[in-house]
Each structure stands twice: as C-alpha cells, then as structure tokens.
Amino acid sequence: MPSQTSFLGLIRDATARVAEMAGFDEATAQKLALAVDEAATNSIKHAYGGSEDREVEIRFLDSAEQLRVDVIDTGRMIDPARIPEVDLERYVSEGRTGGLGVHLMEKIMDSVTFRRASGRNVCCLVKRRAGAGRKRC
C-alpha cells in the first residue's frame, strides 16, 4: 500500500476480512484490524516521517495454530526498547493523545516483535487460536 493514511481504512478492512476467513469471530477480527492499523500508522508516521511516496507491505500467514501479520517498511528503524512504559491513569489525567500504538498492539496480540531484515523493518503480529501452543515470529 502507498504510505498514505488514506489507505488505512483499506488495511483495516482487509485485515478484518482475512481474520474472519481464518476463523476468528467478528469482535476479535476488528481488534486484529486495529492492531495492524496501528503498526501501519507507525510505519507511515515514524519510519517514513509522513512521506507519502513510499510503500507499506502487509503480509498475512494463516496456519493451523495462528494468524500472523507482518507489516513491512523500508524506513527508519524505531527501537522498540526505547518506547517508554505508559501509566494509563496519568496519561488520561494529563489529557495526552497518541503514542499508545505499540502498547495497544501488545494488548490485542499474543506476540508483537520488531526486527530489521535485508534493509527492511518487519513488525510481526501474531494472534494464536484458542488452545494453540506458543509460536512466535
């Protein structure tokens, strides 16, 4: 997809549809779509600095145990270890907005990992099926 926020709705819709086809209920599919939206938004806003002439690649891998979604970009690497922990009560009381994307992804997904491979950033999001063992990216 082009690195434009106007395409985020399409990413959400595609993710929800794939998740439903993979057997997840509608509520879970919508949560997965939100997590993938957050990852794509991070690619656009942070890795690409808002540049609209780049690409964000979304890959889906459905297996018996899990649905895996890779969000891939060629932008600047963001070190997830440098993302501060969030005190949600303080965050809300201060009236802050934004900056919760990674925390939200981690709350929704069973596994969220980041890596750099062949000059590309890969955010790997995994949602396991009920009763499935622990598999990661």
The phi, psi pair for 105, rounded to 5°, reads: -60, -45
Q: Which domains does the chain have, with CATH numbers?
A: 5-128 (3.30.565.10)
pLDDT at 135: 59
Inform me whether the pLDDT recorded for 95 exceeds 60.
no
pLDDT at 74: 97
pLDDT at 102: 85
Give every CB contact of residue 132 below 8 A, 6+ residues apart in sequence. Answer: 64, 65, 66
Structure tokens at 8: 């985020």
Which DSSP symbol is given to 2? B
Q: How many CB atoms lie within 10 A of CB 120?
A: 15
Entry pTM:
0.85
Structure tokens at 115: 């890596």
Candidate ranges 22-31, 76-85, 102-111; pick with highest mean pLDDT: 22-31
Rounded CA-CA distance 114/100 in Å is 16
Structure tokens at 89: 């009560």
Inform me whether the pLDDT recorded for 137 exceeds 90.
no
State the average pLDDT for the chain: 87
What is the separation, in whole angstroms, between the first and last Cα of the chain?
22
pLDDT at 104: 87
Query: Within 13 Å and on the Cβ side, how many CA atoms surround 73?
Result: 28
Section 50-74 average pLDDT: 97
Inform me whether the pLDDT recorded for 75 exceeds 90.
yes
Rounded CA-CA distance 77/67 in Å is 24
Angle made by CA atoms 83, 48, 60, in degrees to the nearest 5: 80
